[in-house]
Structure 1
Amino acid sequence: MSIETITSLLGTDADALLQYQATAIPKEMLHLPGPDFIERIFVNSNRSPQVLRNLGQLFNNGRLAGTGYVSILPVDQGIEHTAGASFAPNPMYFDPENILRLALEGGCNAVATTFGNLAMLSRKYAHRIPFIVKINHNELLTYPNKYDQIMFGSVEEAWNLGAAAVGATIYFGSEESSRQIIEVAEAFEQAHQLGMATILWCYTRNNAFKKDGIDYHVSADLTGQANHLGVTIQADIIKQKLPENNGGFTAINFAKSHPKMYSELTTDHPIDLTRYQVANCYMGRAGLINSGGESKGESDLSDAVRTAIINKRAGGMGLISGRKSFQKDMKEGVRLLNAIQDVYLAQEITVA
């Protein structure tokens, strides 16, 4: 996809996103993705040679191989959103082999999905694309619904089926978050001991985070702090929703904040809001990947390109996009994944 096509997809937002120069945290303070990211960042850490090898697998696969950026296909929706709700738009994805095919044909660095999906086909695909096993999930059969993340398998089983990494979710702010932090921290320690990389879905979840008609689950300050907790338990890569607002701490009047968080460290521009998320990932020492979000139909391609541009220009490491791609036919899904990757391959799109 050419820069002209990308610009056209952005429409009236093109100049605001492509020409913007960050005014809060300068890019010189960040540890940016690049071909030497493992040697520059992780070699100095406590990660073992086995972990470095598996991180190398993630960074050196697919269309973005060797760039330091990643494009990951995540499909845990069969549990998180029920299989029927997730796959009704395209029933072929009830068969996990098509999930793996989409990741391969879409040129992804890796595929992130469930124990069952990967175990069913591990001997056929583990050597063809890096596996990220999602080890915990919410489930929607309890009535009334509850929102908790529970373990669906062991770290050792993820290693047995050939995983390069494990992924987990913590609902920061929920009543169960303390237990989840302990469980995931222990799981990530074991994963590193076995040589696997770690990716954390750092989501906020509390009904009180919605106030006066504004949803602060996606505020830069709350999500940024969730990221900071994630890297503290040694997540190598952080997955986070793109920020949509700011000031959650002050609006809800809880936790701790500082006026400079809002006056100097960020602005209301989406690139600056996302850069604040990157800053909380140890200034980019742990990569930030933003989620692609739900499928909205005709706008999916332009929405995905917009999210990728914000992430890249903020100093992030890539995108992890699922529903926008697998709720379409295979050809259109591949096209969308390739469009995301083209943003990271475009030399004209630089860090703001």
Structure 2
Amino acid sequence: MDTYENIKEYLGDKASFYLEHVCEKITKDEIYTPNGNSKEEIFSNSNRHPQALRSLAQLYNHGNLANTGYLSILPIDQGIEHSAAFSFYKNPDYFDPENIIKLAIEAGCNGVASTFGVLGLYSRKYAHKIPFIVKVNHNELLTYPNKYDQTLFGKVKDAWNMGAIGIGATIYFGSKESNRQIKEISEAFEEAHNLGMATILWCYTRNEAFKTEKEDYHTAADVTGQANHIGVTIQADIIKQKLPTNNYGFKNIDFGKYNDEMYETLTTKHPIDLCRLQVANCYMGRIGLISSGGGSKGESDLVEAITTAVINKRAGGSGLIMGRKAFQKPFGEGVNILQSVQQVYLEDKIDIA
């Protein structure tokens, strides 16, 4: 069975729903789609430092997806974000930072994203073997009661000194601390670019009001799309976002700016159309959108990962940044799920919707 047929088999009775859909609101001709020359076409006329372009080239030209314009990044910062014991009890090998880096290398990822501690401990051994992306801020879970705020854990220059090609950061858009986070991370991104590093922004939304009695709008297409748009405004080179699960966040929560014509003009209920709206908010795809792989649910992880990759690719996204579905499994299974996702981006028959 060839790769395309294999992917169709994983998608099951929803194969045609995902693989044959055509976006008619924001069409594929209106967006910039990834290709092997993406970074040069997008950034060569920008204000990015020439060394930052080299760093982006290192990322895009590494691993199984090298020179395709697509990215497969392994992110493991959950030891801080979700607590180490809870994150690693299914596979305690990943308490050891070296195994995190080994998984990314063995799976042929473009890069590995993790904490100062994880990447710093093995920087001399591996920084020249796979692109490092240092996550510079985190939400810690030891404050009681828990609070939800992203705090800087180190300096951009420290990431540069360990040989990292880029930094990653999270902003909780919509939170009461978001203005401070926007200021901190825009300054961090400016410093990173001046040092010749790439920047990736985790554009997450966080506000109790976004979850109503009827629905959770933290992953609404309109709300997350605006988070993306703020992210590219502070000059993120790549945006990380969760796949949209619904829409009408602004309308149903009744905040921000919205009208019915806006929704009718831009999107439908189809998941690829909803993701297309996220892509459009990333300057019509000129800043790459990589989708989060989400949490591990067990046996359904491979199907969910492939489905997410198909939605992202057909919407015009630039890849997947997947962690828990891979590292919360035995090493070989983790490699397989990462490479199965990469096959979606390598398969020419899966085109832009």
| Match of residue 36 from structure 1 | 37
| Match of residue 160 from structure 2 | 159
Cα deviation, residue 258, structure 1: 3.1
Q: Structure 1 CA distance, aligned partners of 2:262 and 2:101?
A: 41
| Match of residue 213 from structure 1 | 214
Q: Structure 2 CA distance, aligned partners of 1:49 and 1:187?
A: 18
Cα deviation, residue 265, structure 1: 0.4
Within a 5 Å distance, the mapping from 1:229-244 to structure 2 comes to 229-244=230-245
TM-score (norm 2): 0.99
Cα deviation, residue 262, structure 1: 1.0
Cα deviation, residue 33, structure 1: 0.6
| Match of residue 129 from structure 1 | 130
CA contact (8 A) 1:10 1:306 kept: yes
Give 3-state SS (helix, strand or coil) of 1:158's partner: helix
Amino acid at match of 1:2: T
Cα deviation, residue 260, structure 1: 2.8
CA contact (8 A) 1:239 1:289 kept: yes
Cα deviation, residue 31, structure 1: 1.0
Cα deviation, residue 45, structure 1: 0.8
Give 3-state SS (helix, strand or coil) of 1:80's partner: helix
Are 2:314 and 1:318 equivalent residues in the alignment? no
| Match of residue 144 from structure 2 | 143
Unmatched tracts of structure 2, length 5 or more? none
Q: Structure 1 CA distance, aligned partners of 2:324 and 2:243?
A: 16
| Match of residue 224 from structure 2 | 223
Give 3-state SS (helix, strand or coil) of 1:133's partner: strand
Q: Structure 2 CA distance, aligned partners of 1:257 and 1:132?
A: 36
| Match of residue 180 from structure 1 | 181
Cα deviation, residue 211, structure 1: 1.3
Moved more, 24-33 or 298-307: 24-33
Superposed CA offset, 1:293-336 (max 9, x none): 00000000000000000000000000000000000011000000
Cα deviation, residue 48, structure 1: 1.4
| Match of residue 88 from structure 1 | 89
Amino acid at match of 1:74: P
CA contact (8 A) 1:79 1:137 kept: yes
TM-score (norm 1): 0.99
| Match of residue 100 from structure 1 | 101
Q: Structure 2 CA distance, aligned partners of 1:34 and 1:2?
A: 20
Moved more, 148-157 or 211-220: 211-220
Unmatched tracts of structure 1, length 5 or more? none
Give 3-state SS (helix, strand or coil) of 2:284's partner: helix
Cα deviation, residue 259, structure 1: 2.4
Superposed CA offset, 1:104-135 (max 9, x none): 00110000000000000000000000000000
Cα deviation, residue 257, structure 1: 1.4
Within a 5 Å distance, the mapping from 1:186-335 to structure 2 comes to 186-335=187-336
Q: Percent identity?
A: 65
Cα deviation, residue 46, structure 1: 0.6
Cα deviation, residue 204, structure 1: 0.2
Cα deviation, residue 38, structure 1: 1.4
Cα deviation, residue 2, structure 1: 1.0
Q: Structure 1 CA distance, aligned partners of 2:3 and 2:147?
A: 45
CA contact (8 A) 1:188 1:235 kept: yes
Cα deviation, residue 261, structure 1: 2.5
Give 3-state SS (helix, strand or coil) of 1:200's partner: strand
Q: Structure 2 CA distance, aligned partners of 1:160 and 1:26?
A: 43
Amino acid at match of 2:156: V
CA contact (8 A) 1:57 1:130 kept: yes
Q: Structure 2 CA distance, aligned partners of 1:230 and 1:269?
A: 24
CA contact (8 A) 2:251 2:259 kept: no
Q: Structure 1 CA distance, aligned partners of 2:306 and 2:48?
A: 33
CA contact (8 A) 1:92 1:98 kept: yes
Cα deviation, residue 285, structure 1: 1.0
Cα deviation, residue 23, structure 1: 1.3
Cα deviation, residue 192, structure 1: 0.2
Amino acid at match of 1:323: R
CA contact (8 A) 1:102 1:333 kept: yes
Q: Structure 1 CA distance, aligned partners of 2:180 and 2:349?
A: 45
CA contact (8 A) 1:211 1:251 kept: no
